Amino acid sequence: MIPSDPTTTIQQQKRCYAAGSAQPQDGIQQGVAYSQLLKRGPDDALRNPELAHISAINGETRKMNLFQAVNDAMSIALATDDNAVVFGEDVSFGGVFRATMGLAEKFGKDRVFNTPLTEQGIAGFAIGMAAVGHTAIAEIQFADYIFPAFDQLVNEAAKYRYRSGNQFNVGGLTVRAPCSAVGHGGHYHSQSPEAFFAHCPGLKIVSPRSPIQAKGLLLASIRDRNPVIFFEPKNLYRAAVEEVPVADYELPLGKAEVLKKGKDVTVVGYGAQMYTLENAVQLAEKKMPGLSCELIDLRTIVPWDVDTVVESVNKTGRLVIAHEAPKSSGMGAEIASAIMERCFLRLEAPIQRVCGWDTPFPLVFEKFYMPSMIRCFDAIKNSVNY
């Protein structure tokens, strides 16, 4: 039966799975596209003290999204290290997220190549290359599929140096994997498995929030003398765009970044969650005039920068941590207990953790599962009003 007013019915039935334009609520324009965390001008990009030295070498910047920045980092890694190779499932034609575009053409199919479809094989192969001194940049197509490689990464890569008494190491190993929510990824295209690996001494875990960060942190990860798992928030691949220095530069591992100074509450996250936290902070400061939040991007999840967070919480007395992964035994639990140990006398409210629920990542309920702006705002409010 044809409805009497077709336009309204069609609108009601419209389902939008793509990252559509977010409607401003409470005057907050949500979404990566409106973020002030991204550096939209060349001067803005180089204003960061961590990048200030670049102007002296080559101050040129180019507009890149996150996959292009990752591509640029790998291109530089391959150009500056003859022993570096890039491989994984479907990387040859450019990768399912376009991160390896043009690399096989530029560096040859011996250095950028497809592997058979086997994650444990990819990780083991990469470990073998690194064990004889080469630089292996391996890709796992989705972080959700890193689990078949768990044994190789946890029992082998992480322990390689320790168990051999430093006779051998796999410092040249970097595993890249797209992670986190993407709007419609369901169980196996949405996971954030960092906490599984955070429990494993010997690995470093890094997750960037933006193209500038992705390039600098990935280059640092590739060149770091320890095995690194590099989780790339896949919903930022195209959405996050900024002016990225064209120079070869690294950003420090194990160092958090204070994105916004504040005095009342410390807000900590990493990866794509930083944009949600940015919005939550905006909303909190709008709704609670006079409130000032300090926003920190951890960047390196292991080993994480305890000192920067401690310093901040000692000042603010309050801490809110947010991540997409489930709450129980997530990174938030580790951060919360470490801060409780270090800042007990300074804490004025219970530490708040805003996380995914302790469920598998759901398809149609994603919006309700996510540690969204409103959930993060509510946690900030609860902390401040405690």
The set of catalytic residues is: 119, 189
Cα 38 to its chain centre, rounded Å, is: 14
CB closer to another protein, 63 vs 109: 109
- Shortest spacing between CB 321 and another protein, in angstroms: 17
Instruction: Name the minimum Å distance from CB 119 to another protein.
Output: 8
What residues contact 140, with CB distance under 8 A and at least 6 apart? 88, 119, 122, 123, 146, 149, 175, 176, 177
In the complex with another protein, which residue's Cβ is closer, 253 or 274? 253
Give the tokens for residue 171: 């410092």
Helix H or strand E encompassing 322: strand 319-326
Q: For 167-188, b where at least 16 C-beta lie within 10 A, e where not — what string?
A: eebbbbbbbbbbbbbbbebeee
Nearer to another protein, 131 or 195 (CB): 131
CB of 91 to another protein, least distance (A): 13
Considering beta carbons, is residue 250 or 378 the nearer one to another protein? 250
- ∠ CA 69-71-76, nearest 5°, is 95
Contacts of 287 (CB under 8 A, 6+ apart): 26, 377, 381
What's the closest the beta carbon of residue 288 comes to another protein, in angstroms?
Answer: 35
Q: How far is the CB of 82 from another protein (least distance, A)?
A: 9
The angle formed by the CA atoms of residues 272, 101 and 50, to the nearest 5 degrees, is 45
Contacts with another protein by CB under 8 A lie at 83, 85, 110-111, 113, 115-116, 118, 120-121, 123-134, 136, 148, 151-152, 155-156, 159-169, 171, 201-202, 204, 225-226, 254, 303, 306-307
Distance, CA of 145 to chain centre = 17
Q: Measured from the CB atom, is 62 or 255 closer to another protein?
A: 255
Nearest approach, Cβ of residue 122 and another protein (Å) = 8
C-beta of residue 256 within 8 angstroms of C-beta of residue 304? yes
Closest CA to 180 of 224, 218, 234: 234
Q: Which residue number, 124 or 245, has a Cβ lying nearer to another protein? A: 124
Percent of the chain as helix, strand, coil, to the nearest 5 = 40, 20, 45
Quick one: 341 or 348, whose CB is closer to another protein?
341
Of the two residues 136 and 370, which places its CB atom closer to another protein in the complex? 136
* SS3 state of residue 381: helix
Q: In angstroms, what is the minimal distance from the CB of 155 to another protein?
A: 5
Q: Tokens in use for 304?
A: 């994480």
Quick check: 150 and 119 in contact, CB under 8 A?
Answer: no
Q: Rounded to the nearest whole angstrom, what is the least distance from the CB of residue 275 to another protein in the complex?
A: 29
DSSP 154: I
For residue 280, what are the contacts with CB-CB under 8 A and spacing of at least 6? 267, 322, 373, 374, 376, 377, 379, 380
Q: What 8-state DSSP symbol labels residue 63? A: E
